[in-house]
Amino acid sequence: MKQPYEIDLGVVHIHKNVVADIVASMVADVDGVELVSKTFAENCIELFGKKIVSGVTVNVDENNDVSVDLRVVVRYGMNIPDIGRHIQDVVRSVVQKTVDISLKEINVNIQGIERGQK
């Protein structure tokens, strides 16, 4: 990631978990969309102290390019391609505005449909 940020008083480091938290908070505000729960493997990893944000993976490659992978469930009846594009647009905007990082990729993986209560 584009780091560290040098300011008058020192250096500011932004961990990729901060980006994941920002993305997760934003997706929680999108109507009709929920992040997928943690996998068994992610729960096991957390037992050893590594923080995992449910449904969000932030990757940084050797060129410091940042990409975000999202795993979501959408409400039945929603236009899936439109909601995917909306999530990508909002994630790009929020991450750029809050941590000044341009994302290389935002991959939205729709992993299910929530039909609601009968």
Q: What is the pLDDT of residue 8?
A: 74
Q: Please state the domain count of the chain.
A: 1
Residue 43 above 70 pLDDT? no
In a domain, 54, yes or no: yes
Distance from chain centroid for Cα 58: 7
83: left (phi over 0), alpha (psi -120 to 50) or beta: alpha
User: What is the CATH classification number for the domain harbouring 93?
Assistant: 3.30.70.1350
In a domain, 3, yes or no: no
In a domain, 99, yes or no: yes
In a domain, 6, yes or no: no
Kind and range of the H or E run holding 53: none
- Residue 114 near residue 74, CB atoms below 8 Å: yes
Q: What is the pLDDT of residue 49?
A: 59
User: Alpha-carbon distance 67 to 90, whole Å?
Assistant: 14
In a domain, 45, yes or no: yes
Task: Give me the mean pLDDT over the 64-73 stretch.
Answer: 94
In a domain, 98, yes or no: yes
Q: Which domain holds residue 76?
A: 15-114
Token output for 91: 């994630």
